[in-house]
Amino acid sequence: MSGYILIEEGMMQPHKTNGIRPNPIRMGILGYMRELRHEVFPFTQEHRLMIVGLEDVLLAASATDREIPLFIRRTLARKATDLESANLGWVQVVFRRSLKRADDFWLDAGGGRRLTLRPIFNSPMKETDAFGNDYYRIGFNLT
Q: How many residues does the chain have?
A: 143
For residue 90, how many other CB atoms are within 10 A of its CB?
Answer: 18
Q: What is the pLDDT of residues 1-25, one digit of tens each?
A: 789 999 999 999 999 999 999 999 9
What are the beta bridge partners of residue 27? 51
- CA 69 – CA 44 distance, rounded (Å): 26
Q: What is the pLDDT of residues 80-116, one digit of tens each?
A: 998 888 888 899 999 999 999 988 999 988 888 888 9
**What's the whole-model pTM score?**
0.93
Q: What is the pLDDT of residues 43-82, one digit of tens each?
A: 877 778 999 999 999 988 866 678 899 999 999 999 899 8
Domain ranges of the chain: 3-138
